[in-house]
Structure formats: structure tokens, C-alpha cells
Amino acid sequence: MNISPVEEPNMVFQGRGDHPWRGEWRSEPIDISDYRDVEISIEVYSDIYSTPDDNCYIHFFYRIDGGDPVVWFCQTGDLNPRKAFVNKTSSPISGESLEVIIRASTELAIGEEYLFRDIRVSGRRSAGSPAGDE
């Protein structure tokens, strides 16, 4: 199973702080009922230089079966290493349906940004499901 934040290949979502900026991105619900050990992975980039940087953040959540959002990665301020995409992966997840939620905020510094791309949901087929992993 793959979900993509945009339909064009090699594109990214961008939150840019030329003005105070807050945004949220949500996937459609994803059927994971035939899978176990489901994980979410994503590549994320930042260029944050506000001081203090408490109001600059990117938070990754997932929601199982319409329940409350669960945080699986949270970053305040800049990521390390700077100027490079880094991969973040969730712990294994199980349930019937999965929704991915991303919230980000930047401040006033011109050019501050969070970018994310290549969201991937993967897992192993459960017993009794058609063979193969996705």
C-alpha cells in the first residue's frame, strides 16, 4: 500500500514561514484490515532558524479505526541534519483503518520551512489474506 501526498512524482508538501503559517494534511482512511505489523514512513526536511523556535513544529499522527490521533513523531525547531531529508518510521500499528495526519507551524523568518514527501504505509498480509506483502 502506498499513499502519496501529491499526484506528481518527486513533489513535496511545503510549509513556509514568510508569514506565520500553520497547516494540516490528512490522508483518506486506508484499509489495513488484511495487514499486520503496519508501519508508516515519511521523509521530512526542515530549515528553521527562529529564536526561540517553540512555535515552529512538525507533528506526525495516525488514527486507527476513527479513534483519537496518536503521535508517532514530533519535532520542535530544526531537524538534524539540516539541509537533508530524513526518514521517520512509526512503530507497528494494527486495526481496520488508518488515517495519517500531519500538522506543522512556522514563524516569521523569511524562508523557514518544513517539507515532507514519500509517505509509505507498509505491512505484512495477515493469515487468510491473499499472499504477499505490500
Q: Say if 33 falls within a structural domain.
A: yes
Helix ranges (H only) for the chain are none
Cell numbers found for residue 54: 517553540
Asked if 24 and 103 touch (Cβ cutoff 8 Å), the reply is: yes
Looking at the structure of the chain, the number of domains it has is 1
The 10s digit of each residue's pLDDT in 76-110 is: 888 876 678 889 999 999 999 999 999 988 876 66
More confident residue, 32 or 1: 32
State the cell numbers at 43. 521523509
Q: Taking the model in full, what pTM does it have?
A: 0.79
Render pLDDT for 82-91 as a digit per residue (tens, 0 to 9): 678 889 999 9
Q: Is the peptide bond before 52 cis (omega within 30 degrees of 0)?
A: yes
Per-residue pLDDT for 122 more than 60? yes
Q: Is residue 75, in this structure, part of any structural domain at all? A: yes
pLDDT of 5 reads 36
Q: What is the pLDDT of residues 16-66, one digit of tens each?
A: 656 667 888 899 999 999 999 999 999 988 888 766 666 788 899 999 999
* Domain boundaries, position 83: 13-125
CATH code of the domain in which 107 resides: 2.60.120.260
For residue 97, give the nearest of 124, 67, 130 by alpha carbon.
67
More confident residue, 32 or 131: 32
Higher local confidence (pLDDT), 27 or 3: 27
Q: Using CA atoms, how far apart are residues 26 and 11, in angstroms rounded to an integer?
A: 16
Provide the sign of the torsion angle of the four alpha carbons 133, 11, 85, 74, taken in this order.
negative
Neighbours of 19 (CB within 10 A): 9
* Any domain includes 89: yes
